[in-house]
Amino acid sequence: MKAFVVERYGDADTVQARDVPEPAVGDDDVLVRVHAASVNPLDLKIRAGDLKAILPYRAPFVLGNDLAGTVVAVGSRVTRFAVGDEVYARPDQHRIGAFAELIAMHQDDVAAKPVSLTMTEAASFPLVGLTAWQALVERADLRPGQRVLIHAGAGGVGTVAVQLAKHLGAHVAATASGAKAELVRSLGADVVVDYTRQAFETVLHDYDVVLDTVGGDTLDRSLRVLKPGGIVVSVAGPPDPAFARQVGASPVVRLAVAALSFRVRRRAQRRRVRYSYLFMRASGDQLRELTALLDAATIRPVVDRVFDFASTRDALAHVEQGRARAGKVVIRMTA
């Protein structure tokens, strides 16, 4: 089958189109013919080797972290799906490979595709949808009436998180450039701060939750927005010790991870708030929860641009160079 493969960790030139063997199908697996997949910043981090200390993929490997397609084979113990089912998924972190004609995944990581979405729309959603759910519902336990700040409200995670937070009954603030403010408001944001004109920490105060998708100085300043007892959940900041335990890191790696996040954890403690790093995980069950919201039109995916499969490298460059205007970039495998 055809796939886009990371031949070695490095820059854009390390991703090449190749013929690779079809994936083996385990007893609990579904084999899916990919109709569309989407590009995430995570793909760029994996390609560059930024995560190899905790996710050591052995090159060459197929890139791609979420998809939509049709089941073409099932393992002997599969009970959830049958050949012909339309599905979408974020594969387990150890079984990525959505930039290919076929992918095999454990049935627990897969969900039926929302009937209201096209394959292209569905492929844009699993990773960012699960990230928003795990950050706001699981980690922050966001409740009606609470106040949440979502950074990069026009981004892939942000567009979903704004809608989910509003559905959960929260007062929602988001950061976005002025050109994207109207889109973010249309998704449900009560307040939009144009980060090119204002420092968000000077106008927002006493928030219960911050979802940080930017990291760096934005993460540091986010601590000032929280009220005592609040939490910042970051997908872009330094990993924390809880994450190292989650992935079963070695004692040496655990010490290194603890050192990476020591400064931000100490600053959070001094402000009587919490810092939590999130590396989202695959979950078919959570995708089914989100499917109900998608089919009820409570949440809608936002797609920036669609590339053909042959132009996968161009799609990666579009994201890496910051040219996406809003939402997700999708790669269309088949019509």
How is the chain split into domains, by residue range? 2-124+301-332, 127-277
Enter the DSSP assignment of 179: G
Enter the DSSP assignment of 288: H
Reference 270, options 281, 262, 278; nearest CA is: 262
Rounded mean pLDDT, 149-168: 98
pLDDT at position 254 is: 86
pLDDT at position 312 is: 97
At 189-222, the pLDDT tens digits run 999 999 999 999 999 999 999 999 999 999 999 9
CATH number of 2-124+301-332: 3.90.180.10
**pTM (two decimals):** 0.96
Beta bridge partners of 67: 37, 89
- Residue 147 — very low, low, confident or very high, per pLDDT cuts 50/70/90? very high
Residue 99: CA count within 13 A, CB half-sphere: 31
DSSP-assigned letters across all residues of 74-132: E-TT--S--TT-EEEE---TTS---SBSEEEEEGGGEEEPPTTS-HHHHHTSHHHHHHH
CATH number of 127-277: 3.40.50.720
Percentage of the chain beyond pLDDT 90 is 90
Task: List C-alpha distances in Å: 307 to 43, 62, 67, 215, 267.
Answer: 16, 18, 14, 28, 43
Rounded mean pLDDT, 215-237: 97
For 288, residues 6+ apart whose C-beta sits below 8 A from its C-beta are 111, 112
How far is it, in rounded angstroms, from Cα 79 to Cα 73? 12
Among positive and negative, which fits the CA dihedral 293, 280, 246, 230? negative
How far is it, in rounded angstroms, from Cα 42 to Cα 34? 19
- Residue 330 — very low, low, confident or very high, per pLDDT cuts 50/70/90? very high
Rounded mean pLDDT, 120-147: 98
Does the pLDDT of residue 321 top 70, yes or no? yes
Mean pLDDT of the residues in the chain: 96
Angle of helix 126-133 relative to helix 156-167, nearest 10 degrees, comes to 50
Rounded mean pLDDT, 100-109: 98
CA dihedral 280, 144, 297, 134 (to 10 degrees): 10
Is there a contact between 48 and 11 (Cβ–Cβ < 8 Å)? yes
Here the tokens at position 48 are: 């560059």
At 15-38, the pLDDT tens digits run 999 999 999 999 999 999 999 999
pLDDT at position 334 is: 65
At 159-186, the pLDDT tens digits run 999 999 999 999 999 999 999 999 999 9
pLDDT at position 242 is: 87
